[in-house]
Amino acid sequence: MENINLQEQLQDIHQKLDFITEQMRETQKRQRELQELKNDLSIIGKDMFNAAVEELEDVAPYFDTTDMLHLLKKLLRNTKNLTRLLDQLESIEDLFHDLQPLGKKIFDEILESLNEMDKKGYFEFFKESLEIVDTIITSFDVEDVRMLRENITSILLTVKGMTQPEMLRTIDNALSFFRKMDIQVEKDISYFQIIKEMRNPEVKQGFVFMLEFLKNMAKPNTQTKVIES
């Protein structure tokens, strides 16, 4: 009985020794791996340090450690401002994402409006208008433009006078008269008949009006006189 217990204890001891031995092997393996990693990192760090030293040689004349300290202090003093700036940037980004659908809608509406204008002939009208401008530019020289500039006031005053309600009504009445005028003139008219017609007050008024009109055409600054027949 005692032998059996002793064997069980020995077996248990052997199992524990095997477990300890396995753990020691795993520990040694990890240590070797860590050592290899350390060696690799040491080589990489050394290469990076040497590369950084070589690259920083270009800026060494313009760089001082006091500048770095000053920049670091400034960053620390403005940490809150930098945080607010980052928050604003995030807000702008969110706003941009929110406005993207709206921008697409506006772009589609603009395209639709341009298509509608094209159907109505706006672009063709603008093209022909440019042709008119090109014709004017090629038909007149610098001297013509200079004369136009010098006389533009007189031209505008003339146009203004022609667009007055009284003048427009007079022109409209004259055009209506000519459209409706149905006067037949006999082929054989004697001078006696002409002299007889000149005694008519309406004919006299017509002659006087024509004479005053011709006189005032030569004197644009004078006022028209009303002559009583």
CB 227 within 8 A of CB 212: yes
In this prediction, residue 160 carries a pLDDT of 84
Please give the average per-residue pLDDT across 76-86, as a whole number.
Answer: 88
State the pLDDT confidence band at 202, using cuts at 50, 70 and 90.
Answer: confident
In this prediction, residue 3 carries a pLDDT of 67
C-alpha to C-alpha distance for 77 and 71, rounded to whole angstroms: 10
Contacts of residues 24-30 at CB distance under 8 Å and 24 or more positions apart, as own/partner, are none
The pLDDT tens digits for 120-133 are 888 889 889 888 88
The pLDDT tens digits for 3-17 are 667 777 778 888 888
Res. 167: pLDDT tops 60? yes
- Of the two residues 37 and 6, the one the predictor is more confident about is 37
Which span out of 69-73, 97-101, 179-183 was modeled with the highest average pLDDT?
69-73
In this prediction, residue 186 carries a pLDDT of 61
Please give the average per-residue pLDDT across 164-178, as a whole number.
Answer: 76
C-alpha to C-alpha distance for 200 and 208, rounded to whole angstroms: 13
In this prediction, residue 218 carries a pLDDT of 65
Please give the average per-residue pLDDT across 124-148, as a whole number.
Answer: 86
Question: Two tokens at 224?
Answer: 């028209």
In this prediction, residue 135 carries a pLDDT of 87
Closest CA to 216 of 161, 175, 176, 168: 161
146-161 exposure pattern, b = at least 16 Cβ within 10 A, e = fewer: eeeeeeeeeeeeeeee
Mean pLDDT of the chain: 79
CB 202 within 8 A of CB 227: no
Whole-model pTM: value is: 0.32
Res. 220: pLDDT tops 60? no
- By percentage, how much of the chain surpasses pLDDT 70? 86
Please give the average per-residue pLDDT across 21-43, as a whole number.
Answer: 86
CB 225 within 8 A of CB 212: yes
- Of the two residues 211 and 2, the one the predictor is more confident about is 211
Please give the average per-residue pLDDT across 138-150, as a whole number.
Answer: 84
Res. 181: pLDDT tops 70? no
189: region left, alpha or beta (phi > 0 left; psi from -120 to 50 alpha):
beta
Report the Cα 224 to chain-centroid distance in Å: 55
Q: What is the 3-state secondary structure (H, E, C) of the chain?
A: CHHHHHHHHHHHHHHHHHHHHHHHHHHHHHHHHHHHHHHHHHHHHHHHHHHHHHHHCCCHHHCCHHHHHHHHHHHHHCHHHHHHHHHHHHHHHHHHHHHHHHHHHHHHHHHHHHHHHHHHCHHHHHHHHHHHHHHHHHHCCHHHHHHHHHHHHHHHHHHHHHCCHHHHHHHHHHHHHHHHCCCCCCCCCCHHHHHHHHCCHHHHHHHHHHHHHHHHHHCCCCCCCCCCC
In this prediction, residue 182 carries a pLDDT of 61
